[in-house]
Amino acid sequence: MDMGILRPTTLTAAVALAASGLATFPAQADTLTANTGTINSATFSASPPPSGAPGGVSPEVYYDAATGTYYLLTTGQPRSVQYTSRDGSSWTPTSVQLPDRGIDWSIVQEGPSSFRLYYAEMAATTPGSGPQQPCTPGSKVLKYATSSDLQTWTPQPGTLLGDVGCGVPHVMKTSAGRYFLYFNKAVPQEGVWISTSTDGLSWSAPTGPINGDDQLVDPAPLELPDGTFVMVGSTRGNPMKGELQYLQLLASSDAVNWVKRTKALYAPSGAGAFDPSIELVDGRLRVWFGYSPGGSYDAAAITDGVLTLGPGKSATGAGVKAKAGKKCTKKGASSGTLVCAKVKGKLIWKRR
């Protein structure tokens, strides 16, 4: 999106593993890995939003493997809406109340029945006044809410960060238990910046921007089963100049240093594509995003597509596998349906 326009993006990293035995991923996930080769040869299949698709912008999609339910959070006028779905395509609005003034959603799972909803909020210049001018330092702050069921969100007091730029912040928690916050800043240099945390509450000073790229916005990262990372983002665009936003694709081995695909991932004719959200479900990488006919955000709706990475050897070998009982190193760390727990004095992966 254009960094002067306020719209949320999110994404959360969730890996759906099989329910028992040796967990493998079907189809492309058997060799699923992110690197320069696999993103440059990737393909993306998507269509314009169907009739009746949710309106609004900035989809955050979270897939709850335990119940087989997709949750979609959008931002629109006059209010943000949460939807549910069984297939990730047909959505039913819910009566869930999202935090007032919240935008830029990111759902992170903390435990079997523990979730955090990170979100941005426009800061007021003074108490009781209106919001600050977008894209000025401190114009947006980071907050969070908690839930045990993805249905009732309880905003927590205080502010986590007093300046998260003017774009679309997104929080990702890795399988090692480390948190990454990606967000757009205009000062001191435009682009996507990164902060890290060990608890998701106290954040490091930001570094960036990624690759010095001032055209990258809407970061939506995801950890793959082999420990590499893929990110779908978009360009800033400039509707006044006839430059519509389009989707971009990046890869990383450490979630800090990223390489970008040399060509657009998805650039529909006559429409903007922006604010992606990505999930790995049943071995398929699915991407939801805002689609704006003619670049009109007022007419935007949510649609989705399937991302297929090119073939390549994964970081853990020829096959991507996760096995309950294998040693792990950090108690409480999670990877899909696995959690690192101490059993008989040893740390091993256990199913939730």
Q: pLDDT by residue (tens digit) across 12-56?
A: 333 333 322 223 333 454 469 999 999 999 999 999 999 999 998
Residue corresponding to tokens 């205009």: 186
Output the pTM of the full model.
0.81
For residue 111, which amino acid is it? Answer: G
What pLDDT, on a 0 to 100 scale, did the predictor assign at position 90? 96
Non-local (6+) Cβ contacts of 282 within 8 A are 16, 26
Pairing of strands 301-308, 321-323: unpaired
Residue matched to tokens 């058997």: 30
- What is the Cα–Cα distance from 120 to 331, expressed in whole angstroms? 30
Q: Mind listing the pLDDT tens digit for each residue in 53-69?
A: 999 888 999 999 999 99
Q: Supply the DSSP string of 49-93, one letter for each residue.
A: PPTTPPBSEEEEEEEETTTTEEEEEEE-SS--EEEEESSSSS-EE
Q: Write down the residue that tokens 């990383």 correspond to.
A: 252
At 298 the three-state DSSP class reads helix
Bridge partner list, 197: 179
User: How distant is the alpha carbon of residue 82 from its chain centre?
Assistant: 16
pLDDT at 19: 29
DSSP letters spanning 16-34: ---SSSEEE--GGGGG---
Task: Compute the CA torsion angle 287, 52, 117, 58 (nearest 10 deg).
Answer: 60
Beta carbons within 10 angstroms of residue 228's beta carbon: 24
Q: Which CATH number fits domain 34-313: 3.90.10.10, 2.40.37.10, 2.115.10.20, 1.10.260.40?
A: 2.115.10.20
3-state DSSP assignment of residue 239? helix
Q: Are residues 89 and 304 in contact, defined by beta-carbon separation less than 8 angstroms?
A: yes
Q: Identify the pLDDT of residue 340.
A: 76
- Encoded tokens for 312: 């390549």
3-state secondary structure of 292: strand
Q: Which residues of 185-211 are buried (b: 16+ CB within 10 A; e: fewer)?
A: bbeeebbbbbbbbeebeebeebebbbe
Pairing verdict, β 22-24 and 216-223: unpaired
Domain residue spans of the chain: 34-313
What residues does 75 pair with on adjacent strands? Answer: 57
pLDDT at 148: 97
| One-letter amino acid for residue 64 of the chain | D
- Which segments in the chain show pLDDT lower than 70? 1-31, 77, 124-135, 313-326, 334-339, 344, 349-352
Answer whether 332's CB lies under 8 Å from 340's CB. Answer: yes
